[in-house]
Amino acid sequence: MTEAITAVNDFAFLKLALDHFYVCNAVTNEASRRVKQKTGAEFVGFIELAHHDGQSKSEKWIVRRESWLRARAAAPRT
């Protein structure tokens, strides 16, 4: 897990006490997709969303507290 994702998700779930939130990425952004998969996000579907490079087809993901905490507990500590 990247440090940035860890910090954002910790804030969302531990400080703000959110149950879930949504994140999106361009369909062609495979690296972003892999990060979402590694951190326990669940694929919801495709949506249209303008991106800086002109693309509009996006993937929508949900990040749930329970999935994040499970992934966080399983992640190796450095």
The CATH number given to whatever domain includes residue 65 is 3.40.630.30
pTM of the model: 0.84
Number of domains in the chain: 1
At 21-46, the pLDDT tens digits run: 999 999 999 999 999 998 889 999 99
pLDDT value of residue 78: 62
* Domain hosting residue 30, numbered range: 3-74
If one counts every other C-beta atom within 10 angstroms of the C-beta of residue 43, the result is 12
DSSP 8-class letter at 70: H
Average pLDDT value for residue range 39-64: 91
